C-alpha cells in the first residue's frame, strides 16, 4: 500500500492504509472473477455501444482581433496570453 500511495502522491495514515488495503483486495478479487469469464470470440471494444464523432465541416471564417484579445487578457507578453503553469517538472 505504501508503494501505491507514493505513486498516487498521497499521504495515508495507518488506519487509511489498513482500510484501503482491504478495499483494494476486494477489487482485485473481482478481477479474479472476471478472469473466469469465457470471452472467446468477443471482439475487444472501448465502449459498450459504437461511438461516432459528429463533426461539422471545417470552414474557415473570420478570426478574433488579436489586439483586442491581448488588451482584455489578464497578462500578455510577446503578443501571447500568459497563463498559470499547470505542468509539474518533478516526476
Residue-wise pLDDT tens digits, 44-77:
888 888 888 888 899 999 999 999 999 999 999 9
The pLDDT tens digits of the residues spanning 4-19 come to 888 889 999 999 999 9
**Rounded to whole angstroms, how far apart are CA atoms 12 and 5?**
7
Q: How confident is the model at residue 82 (pLDDT cuts 50, 70, 90)?
A: very high
Contacts with 81 (C-beta within 8 Å, 6 or more apart), sequence order: 69, 70, 73, 74, 75
Neighbours of 9 (CB within 10 A): 9
CB distance 11 to 5 below 8 Å:
yes
CA distances from 36 to 1, 23, 28, 31 (A): 26, 21, 13, 9
Amino acid at each position: 500500500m505504501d508503494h501505491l500511495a507514493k505513486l498516487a502522491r498521497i499521504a495515508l495514515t495507518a488506519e487509511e492504509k489498513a482500510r484501503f488495503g482491504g478495499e483494494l483486495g476486494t477489487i482485485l478479487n473481482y478481477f479474479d472473477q472476471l478472469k473466469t469469464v469465457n470471452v472467446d470470440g468477443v471482439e475487444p471494444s472501448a465502449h459498450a455501444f459504437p461511438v461516432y464523432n459528429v463533426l461539422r465541416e471545417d470552414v474557415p471564417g473570420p478570426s478574433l482581433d488579436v489586439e483586442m484579445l491581448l488588451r482584455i487578457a489578464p497578462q500578455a507578453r510577446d503578443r501571447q496570453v500568459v497563463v498559470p503553469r499547470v505542468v509539474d517538472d518533478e516526476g
